[in-house]
Amino acid sequence: MGLPLAKNIIKINALSKIYKVGEVEVRALNSINLSIDEGEFVAIMGSSGSGKSTLMNLIGCLDKPTSGEYYLDGINTSSLSKNEYSKIRNQKIGFVFQGFNLLARTTALENVELPLLYDRYRRIKDPARKAIEVLERVGLGERMHHEPNQLSGGQQQRVAIARALVNEPSLILADEPTGNLDSKISVEVFTLFQKLNDEGITIVLVTHEREFAKFAKRIVELKDGRIIRDSIIENRLIGSEELVKIAETFNDI
Amino acid sequence: MHLKNLLKIALKSLLKSRMRSMLTALGIIIGVAAVVVMVAIGDGAQVQVEQQISALGSNLIVIFPGSGTTGGVRMGAGSVNRFTMEDVKKIQDETTLIKAVTPIVRSGGQVIGGTGNWNTQIQGVATNYLEIRDWPLALGEFFTDKDIISRAKVAVLGQTIVNQLFPNLDPIGQQIRIRNVPFKVIGVLASKGQSAMGADQDDIIVAPATTVLDRLVGGIYISYMMASANSTDEIDAAQQELTSVMREAHHIYPGEDDDFTVRNQAEITEAATQTSKILTILLASVAGVSLIVGGIGIMNIMLVSVTERTREIGIRLSVGARTVDVLFQFLIEAIVLSLAGGIIGIFISFAAVFILNHYTEMVALINPEIIFIAVSFSGVIGIFFGFYPARKAAGLNPIDALRYE
């Protein structure tokens, strides 16, 4: 047998999340099973209220499930304390948010360094050098001393991606990463995600736009707190090709 | 997270809003400066009072003869006069904590000389009288041990006597007659002014104790003694030592009452310093109120800052900051603000004290203790008023904080 068995990054068993709003119980996630292997690029899709944000919060260790088990990189997170959750967010997960969520009046470099400042185990010896390295990797080596308000939306999101990469996480979790960007810039960002994925980084993307989900390798669709479809994308979009197409369309006009 | 990183983060965010940080710290700056200056003024007043009291005589101890009993009737202080020059010598020789001791032979009467006459008191004393009473000479010289031995008829006049007898004349070398005994004036005492009780201390003539005993009083008994302790701190011990030497000299058995009374000025000093201490406390507590107001200012700004930076807190939590990291970040910001305010306040108070001392009549004294207290108190204010906002920040839920607009 040629291929080694891929490592499980995410293993979810019968995961449920129930919110109590007054007397009413809202079942945001209803006994979900999901497993994601190392090197995958998964898009979690669903309309508003489908439970995808809840799932993302649980995968990102920002919230605790009501019941069920969640193994992240082999660690059972269900029994962990608040501080251990912080440690997991710090070491295992890189977040990319819709609104970029960069610290204002703080240079790109300092923003990228931020997760390393909170790493009490100092796994990375030279934070500044590492931050420069990842900024170069996302193509922002020239702009590392700029503050967010001096950067374009696409550049800001690339700073956020660099920040997500700096701690060498097991998983990058992107929540509507292009929600605030126009389509050309969005394609650029997905091109970057695909490049990172090709380098072996596991990416979980949460989006409600099907056309962007096609940049991933696999789509998990949610509805009413359940997974209704889990499929491999056949006609996957390739970022570099799409960029060429956009350029052509632009020329036609 | 390491303290160094926390400090770096706190300083950065304070520097991001310089104007606001300055204004927030201003409350503490004014509070600390006010407390330090007020305490300095109080301390200055206290030292002035102490100086004035010690001008009455440095570490003065007075030994009065005790009361005698005649047929069961106690006669009151001084009724048994048993001090002699022997006692003075014994105290001089056998005590270690007493710097100097002088007999006082009290006499009085009409003095004639110069252009008039005047009724005054004459004190027969030893050569160290000036030292004991902390009383300098204005003119001439004081008598010497030789004059004491030879019972020389020399006198040193108080300022009032000079004014009465020699208003336009140099009194040095002049003759005066005290109760018809001729004395030669050899010196004039500096003016000492009124005593604490309102008596004119300059209305006095001093002469060698032996001369006064032999020529004016007659007999061997001296009225009382004045002694000076080595230092104010040792005054009680000195008094005890003196008592035991005197008991021995007078052959008083254990259990028997002293036949003399020893007094010092500690009581007067204490009362006066107590007054100025109360003044200091009063001033400091008024100023302390402004320090607390400053602290509330810090709390207010920190609370606003927590709300304003909710998203920042969310970001920090999402990249792995622990609750305590956020708590410490905000706490350290508050402490840095108030400590910096405290230190700037100290510098301002130095300037204020310098101005007070050089350009006004007031005396202000900064003691190092109050600097330490003010700075640590401002730190405590930072912790106290910073804790609530910091806890509020640390208690935020990362999901809500990230969504906060």
* Min distance B344 CA to chain A CA atoms (Å): 27
* Residues in chain A, pLDDT under 50: 1-2
Chain centroid to Cα B358, Å, comes to 21
What is the residue-wise DSSP string for A121-168?
Answer: T--SS-HHHHHHHHHHHTT-GGGTT--GGGS-HHHHHHHHHHHHHTT-
**Spatial CB neighbours of B4, under 8 Å, sequence gap ≥ 6:** none
Pair A175, A206: CB distance under 8 Å: yes
B3 has a chain A CB within 8 A of its CB: no
Q: Which residues of A touch B (CB under 8 A)?
A: 57, 60, 62-63, 82-83, 86-87, 89-91, 95, 97, 101-106, 114-115, 117-120, 163, 167
**pLDDT attached to residue B70:** 54
ipTM of the shown complex: 0.92
C-alpha B173/C-alpha B154 separation (Å) is 10
Q: Which of B276, B323, B259, B333 is nearest to B303 (CA)?
A: B333
- Other C-beta atoms closer than 10 Å to the C-beta of A163 total 29
Contact B399 A57 (CB under 8 A): yes
Instruction: Tell me phi and psi for residue B208, to 5 degrees.
Output: -55, 140
Tokens at residue A158, please? 């690339």
Contact B320 A106 (CB under 8 A): no
**Spatial CB neighbours of B358, under 8 Å, sequence gap ≥ 6:** none
Contact A86 B317 (CB under 8 A): yes
List the pLDDT tens digit at each of the 405 positions of chain B.
Answer: 577 878 888 888 888 888 989 998 998 999 999 989 988 988 888 888 777 776 665 578 888 887 655 555 665 555 565 788 888 888 888 888 888 899 999 988 899 988 888 899 999 999 999 888 888 888 899 999 999 999 999 999 999 989 888 888 888 988 999 988 999 999 999 988 776 666 788 899 999 999 998 888 888 888 889 888 887 778 888 888 888 888 888 888 887 777 888 887 776 677 777 888 888 888 888 888 888 888 898 899 889 989 999 999 999 999 999 999 999 999 999 999 999 999 999 999 999 999 999 998 888 888 888 888 888 888 898 999 999 999 999 999 898 898 887
C-alpha A19/C-alpha A13 separation (Å) is 19
* Min distance B384 CA to chain A CA atoms (Å): 25
Chain A: residue nearest B398 by CA?
A: A62
3-state secondary structure chain B: CCHHHHHHHHHHHHHHCHHHHHHHHHHHHHHHHHHHHHHHHHHHHHHHHHHHHHCCCCCEEEEEECEEEECCEEEEECCCCCCCHHHHHHHHHHCCCEEEEEEEEEEEEEEEECCEEEEEEEEEECCCHHHHHCCCEEEECCCCHHHHHCCCCEEEECHHHHHHHCCCCCCCCCEEEECCEEEEEEEEECCCCECCCCCECCCEEEEEHHHHHHHHHCCCCCCEEEEEECCCCCHHHHHHHHHHHHHHHCCCCCCCCCCEEEEECHHHHHHHHHHHHHHHHHHHHHHHHHHHHHHHHHHHHHHHHHHHCHHHHHHHHHCCCCHHHHHHHHHHHHHHHHHHHHHHHHHHHHHHHHHHHHHCCCCCCCCHHHHHHHHHHHHHHHHHHHHHHHHHHHCCCHHHHHHCC
Chain B: residue nearest A103 by CA?
A: B312
* Min distance B23 CA to chain A CA atoms (Å): 20
Buried b (16+ CB within 10 A) or exposed e, A223-236: eebebeeeeebeee
Pair A12, A222: CB distance under 8 Å: no
- Give, rounded to a whole angstrom, the gap between the first and last alpha carbons of chain A: 52
Instruction: Tell me phi and psi for residue B85, to 5 degrees.
Output: -65, -25
Contact B12 A60 (CB under 8 A): no
Sole residue written with tokens 């109120």:
B289
CA quadruple B213, B214, B216, B218: dihedral positive or negative? Answer: positive
Which residues from chain A sit within 8 angstroms of residue B17, using beta carbons?
none
C-alpha B170/C-alpha B39 separation (Å) is 47
**pLDDT attached to residue B71:** 56
Q: Can you give the pTM of this predicted structure?
A: 0.70
Mutation site for B-interface testing, chosen from A84, A87, A117, A206 by largest number of B Cβ within 10 Å: A117
**pLDDT attached to residue A1:** 42
Q: Which of A59, A60, A53 is nearest to A28 (CA)?
A: A53
Which of A91, A101, A167 faces B315 most closely, judged by CB atoms? Answer: A101
**pLDDT attached to residue A221:** 94
**pLDDT attached to residue B57:** 58
C-alpha A164/C-alpha A148 separation (Å) is 16
* Min distance B1 CA to chain A CA atoms (Å): 5
**pLDDT attached to residue A2:** 44
